[in-house]
């Protein structure tokens, strides 16, 4: 999920037709075998971000044996692949790796014995890592790789006890999307391949280990843990975490894992999780993954959330005490249908995950918190899209990207895949009506359940099950304009927010005559209204104006990251150095890229700001995730290379 530095607020605040019978709710049957996916792809399909050759051989099941070594910041162990050889002439298994040390590779013979296999680990590509080619002349049904991760693995973060809330136990967590799973497991790291997995993990006795699998709320913390994921998933949904973690339930099938000091506040903030599950089931069919738990990570987590099946990873920055940012939970939950259940087949089709999910998220928010709140989040996202689309290449504004558009799959436009994708879904909903569109979308999830598909499959299904049964409403040309052309079509539905109109009036009055909006008005404002208030400000304000706002509302030092990420860049651009200490503290304490990158980007525009950015980054760097570190490094390096004005 490493995306452009502006990540849409709406996507992280948190998204009659015939249909097949839904698989059983537990997913233990009815999910297609991995080999059935071959029918969902064509020979012309190719994942340019993977070395794997899934048309020749596919992983059906992955069995992990891992040891968590905090002292050396390493995972060590084995990965065993149960394989389906699709090409009768194929005798090689090609895996993706990044900075892995390969110790040994063995294959299972027909007599059940294991024999050494020859392999070659190629030189590393900056983005793709190293191609691991395993020679398997006997086309072994199982192959096992013994390996160790690098202490600097891009998909793992190791935190010392001092970097955690409890301060006594180290912490480790993974982030596999888009192509970071290969940094901690040698794997066919492409969404074209889905597999089941099991894992046995050993760790120090004082840490609890969790994975994107069947975590037992009553599991003993004894240093040995076993996991099973019976539904086939793509590699980017592999996840692991280890630390001082305890569990508190929200409902019979949902709960929170967190450090002891954080769990109570998290349970209170996310108390509506079970209601969200029920709302989504009513709209789009059964939740098919068993449990839905939330893991609250340290603030260094680089994203708002990650939809790892059965265990969404969640930033603590959305715990603000008033449930104003719980759309994030709606978004990660919605991925249980859009993304985890039906997955894009290459990163060029990422909108199939994020756009549809953002639409479903907004429907959940509307059902639970009302249309006014859902409309506000839509407007915020679309305002940010307008800004981003002024700056990015039109080639990145297409929902379905052409091969070769991105050097790195982490570089897609969030405004496109999240907000434009959701806007497209709303366009279809408004044209066909909710009843028809909801039935279509539920049928889509059922039809492609546990499969990975390209945009072309979505188009084929939409034409057959939405356009053709309802002629004259949306043309094929309109459908394809949304998907294949840059920008937003003229037929896009617009959203008006009366509550934002009131905010606009209050802001205009303050800018006109300095009248600070009355407490009687602002006391009822939500995070969304404060965000809109700040986003509508001029590029810079006078020191007197900033002082007046700070005196009235205490923006400097705010614990709400959504406000901080808008207030601090404004303060920097305006020369409001009174906020510098709070800015430095914020950048050191928080590692969520969306929240901190706007401030870094503002700081590096002046020599004085660049110095503060470098000094702060030097202090913050040990606590940043590698993904965040790379983003900050790039912004600082670009500023230092820019010619002097």
Residue 607: CATH number of its domain: 1.25.40.320
Q: Is the dihedral of CA 445, 450, 456, 457 positive or negative?
A: negative
**DSSP secondary structure code for residue 23 in this structure:** P
Q: Summarize the confidence of residues 421-445 as an average pLDDT.
A: 98
Query: What's residue 20's pLDDT?
Result: 31
Query: What's residue 17's pLDDT?
Result: 37
Does 311 have pLDDT greater than 90? yes
Answer yes or no: is 432 within a domain: yes
Confidence category of residue 408, pLDDT binned at 50, 70, 90:
confident
Answer yes or no: is 631 within a domain: yes
Does 9 have pLDDT greater than 90? no
- Both 457 and 544 in a single domain? no
| Positions marked catalytic | 332, 418
Answer yes or no: is 159 within a domain: no
CA 309 to chain centre: 12
Q: Summarize the confidence of residues 30-45 as an average pLDDT.
A: 42
- Both 460 and 348 in a single domain? yes
Instruction: Name the phi and psi angles at 141, rounded to 5.
Output: -75, -25
Residues 6+ apart with CB under 8 A from 20: 443, 446, 447, 449
Query: What's residue 484's pLDDT?
Result: 96
Range of the domain at 435: 342-484
* CA 389/CA 392 separation, integer angstroms: 5
Instruction: Name the phi and psi angles at 198, rounded to 5.
Output: -130, 160
Say if residue 317 is preceded by a cis peptide, omega within 30 of 0: no
Q: Summarize the confidence of residues 381-389 as an average pLDDT.
A: 93
Confidence category of residue 374, pLDDT binned at 50, 70, 90:
very high
Picking from 587, 561, 583, 588, the residue whose alpha carbon sits closest to that of residue 572 is 583
Which token pair is 130?
């190293």
Residues 6+ apart with CB under 8 A from 347: 47, 49, 178, 179, 191, 406, 409, 412
- Both 461 and 588 in a single domain? no
Q: Which of 465, 484, 503 is the last residue of a domain?
A: 484
Query: What's residue 411's pLDDT?
Result: 79
Question: What DSSP string describes 58-88?
Answer: EEEEEEEEEEEETTTTEEEEEEEEEEEE-ST
Q: Summarize the confidence of residues 308-312 as an average pLDDT.
A: 97
Q: What is the mean pLDDT of the chain?
A: 91
Answer yes or no: is 583 within a domain: yes
Which token pair is 553?
């509302």
- Both 357 and 480 in a single domain? yes
Does 36 have pLDDT greater than 70? no
573-619 tens-digit pLDDT: 999 999 999 999 999 999 999 999 999 999 999 999 999 999 999 99
Q: How many structural domains compose the chain?
A: 2
Residues 6+ apart with CB under 8 A from 283: 360, 363, 367, 438, 441, 442
**How many CB atoms sit inside 10 A of residue 367's CB?**
18
- Both 627 and 560 in a single domain? yes
**Global pTM?**
0.88
Question: What DSSP string describes 30-60?
Answer: SSPPGGGGGGGS-TT---TT----TTTEEEE
287-296 tens-digit pLDDT: 999 999 999 9
- Whether 567 and 558 have beta carbons less than 8 Å apart is answered as yes
* CA 366/CA 363 separation, integer angstroms: 5
Answer yes or no: is 417 within a domain: yes
Residue 137: burial class (beta carbons within 10 Å; 0-12, 13-18, 19+): exposed
* CA 105/CA 142 separation, integer angstroms: 11
* CA 492/CA 524 separation, integer angstroms: 31
* CA 190/CA 176 separation, integer angstroms: 11
Residues 6+ apart with CB under 8 A from 69: 75, 76
Q: Summarize the confidence of residues 437-454 as an average pLDDT.
A: 97
- Both 347 and 461 in a single domain? yes
* CA 529/CA 358 separation, integer angstroms: 20
* CA 530/CA 525 separation, integer angstroms: 7
Report the Cα–Cα distance between both ends of the chain, in Å, rounded: 34
* CA 46/CA 191 separation, integer angstroms: 11
Query: What's residue 576's pLDDT?
Result: 97
Query: What's residue 644's pLDDT?
Result: 59
Confidence category of residue 162, pLDDT binned at 50, 70, 90:
confident
102-145 tens-digit pLDDT: 999 999 999 999 999 999 999 999 999 999 999 999 999 999 99
514-572 tens-digit pLDDT: 888 888 889 899 999 999 999 999 999 999 999 999 999 999 999 999 999 999 999 99
* CA 326/CA 266 separation, integer angstroms: 11
- Both 555 and 479 in a single domain? no
Does 25 have pLDDT greater than 80? no
Query: What's residue 645's pLDDT?
Result: 54
Answer yes or no: is 412 within a domain: yes
Answer yes or no: is 406 within a domain: yes
- Both 548 and 456 in a single domain? no
The domain that holds 357 is classified in CATH as 1.10.390.10
Which token pair is 293?
């738990």
* CA 609/CA 613 separation, integer angstroms: 6
- Both 421 and 542 in a single domain? no
* CA 614/CA 600 separation, integer angstroms: 9
Picking from 363, 262, 367, the residue whose alpha carbon sits closest to that of residue 318 is 262
Share of the chain above pLDDT 70, in %: 93
Does 229 have pLDDT greater than 70? yes
- Both 553 and 467 in a single domain? no
**DSSP secondary structure code for residue 214 in this structure:** -
Query: What's residue 521's pLDDT?
Result: 87
Length of the chain, please?
645
Q: Which of 419, 452, 484 is the last residue of a domain?
A: 484
Residue 613: burial class (beta carbons within 10 Å; 0-12, 13-18, 19+): buried
Answer yes or no: is 282 within a domain: no
Query: What's residue 1's pLDDT?
Result: 40
Q: Which of 447, 469, 484 is the last residue of a domain?
A: 484
Distances (CA, A) of 483 to 144, 329, 354, 397: 41, 27, 14, 9
Query: What's residue 272's pLDDT?
Result: 97
Which token pair is 247?
């569990």
Picking from 131, 44, 37, the residue whose alpha carbon sits closest to that of residue 93 is 131
- Both 455 and 357 in a single domain? yes
**How many CB atoms sit inside 10 A of residue 124's CB?**
13
Does 14 have pLDDT greater than 70? no
- Both 356 and 479 in a single domain? yes
């Amino acid at each position: 999920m490493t995306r452009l530095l502006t990540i849409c607020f709406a996507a992280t605040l948190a998204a009659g037709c015939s249909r097949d019978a839904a698989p059983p709710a537990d997913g233990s049957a009815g999910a297609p075998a991995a080999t059935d996916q071959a029918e969902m792809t064509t020979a012309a399909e190719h994942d340019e971000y993977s070395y794997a050759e899934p048309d020749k051989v596919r992983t059906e099941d992955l069995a992990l044996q891992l040891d968590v070594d905090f002292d050396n910041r390493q995972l060590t162990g084995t990965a065993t692949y149960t394989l389906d050889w699709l090409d009768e002439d194929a005798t090689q298994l090609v895996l993706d790796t990044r900075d892995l040390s390969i110790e040994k590779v063995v294959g299972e013979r027909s007599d059940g014995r294991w024999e050494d296999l020859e392999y070659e680990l190629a030189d590393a590509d900056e983005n793709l890592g190293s191609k691991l080619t395993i020679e398997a002349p006997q086309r072994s049904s199982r192959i096992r790789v013994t390996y160790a991760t690098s202490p600097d693995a891009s998909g793992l973060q190791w935190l010392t006890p001092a970097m955690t809330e409890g301060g006594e136990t180290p912490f480790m967590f993974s982030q596999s999307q888009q192509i970071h799973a290969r940094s901690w497991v040698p794997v066919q790291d492409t969404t074209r391949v889905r597999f089941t997995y099991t894992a046995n993990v050993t760790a120090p006795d004082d840490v609890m280990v969790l994975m994107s699998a069947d975590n037992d709320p009553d599991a003993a913390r004894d240093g040995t843990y076993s996991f099973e994921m019976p539904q086939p998933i793509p590699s980017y949904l592999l996840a692991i975490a280890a630390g001082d973690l305890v569990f508190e339930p929200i409902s019979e099938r949902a709960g929170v894992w967190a450090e002891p000091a954080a769990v109570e506040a998290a349970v209170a903030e996310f108390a509506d999780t079970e209601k969200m599950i029920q709302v989504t089931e009513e709209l789009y069919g059964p939740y098919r993954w068993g449990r839905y738990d939330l893991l609250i990570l340290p603030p260094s987590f680089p994203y708002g959330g990650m939809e790892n099946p059965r265990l969404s990873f969640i930033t603590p920055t959305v715990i603000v005490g008033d449930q104003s940012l719980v759309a994030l939970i709606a978004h990660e939950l919605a991925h249980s249908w859009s993304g985890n259940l039906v997955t894009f087949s290459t990163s060029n089709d990422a909108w199939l995950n994020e756009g549809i999910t953002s639409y479903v998220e907004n429907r959940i928010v509307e059902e639970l918190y009302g249309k006014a709140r859902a409309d506000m989040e839509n407007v915020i996202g679309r305002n940010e899209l307008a800004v981003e689309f002024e700056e990015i290449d039109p080639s990145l504004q297409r929902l379905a990207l052409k091969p070769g558009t991105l050097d790195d799959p982490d570089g897609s436009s969030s405004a496109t895949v999240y907000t434009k994708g959701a806007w497209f879904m709303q366009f279809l909903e408004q044209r066909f009506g909710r009843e028809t569109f909801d039935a279509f979308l539920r049928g889509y999830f059922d039809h492609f359940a546990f499969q990975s598909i390209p945009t072309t499959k979505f188009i084929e299904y939409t034409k057959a099950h939405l356009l053709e049964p309802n002629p004259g409403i949306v043309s094929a040309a309109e459908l394809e304009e949304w998907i294949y052309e840059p920008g937003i079509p003229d037929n896009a539905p617009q959203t008006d927010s009366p509550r934002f109109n009131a905010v606009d009036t209050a802001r205009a009055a303050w800018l006109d005559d300095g009248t600070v909006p009355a407490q009687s008005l602002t006391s009822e404002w939500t995070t969304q209204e404060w965000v809109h208030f700040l986003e509508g400000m001029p590029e810079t304000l006078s020191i007197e104006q900033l002082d007046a706002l700070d005196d009235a509302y205490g923006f400097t030092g705010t614990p709400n990251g959504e406000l901080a990420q808008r207030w601090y860049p404004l303060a920097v651009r305006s020369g409001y150095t009174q906020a510098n200490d709070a800015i430095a503290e914020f950048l050191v304490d928080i590692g969520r890229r969306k929240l901190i990158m706007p401030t870094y980007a503002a700081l590096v525009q002046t020599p004085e700001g660049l110095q503060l950015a470098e000094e702060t980054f030097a202090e913050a760097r040990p606590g940043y995730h590698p993904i965040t570190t790379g983003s900050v490094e790039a912004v600082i390096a670009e500023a230092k290379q820019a010619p002097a004005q």
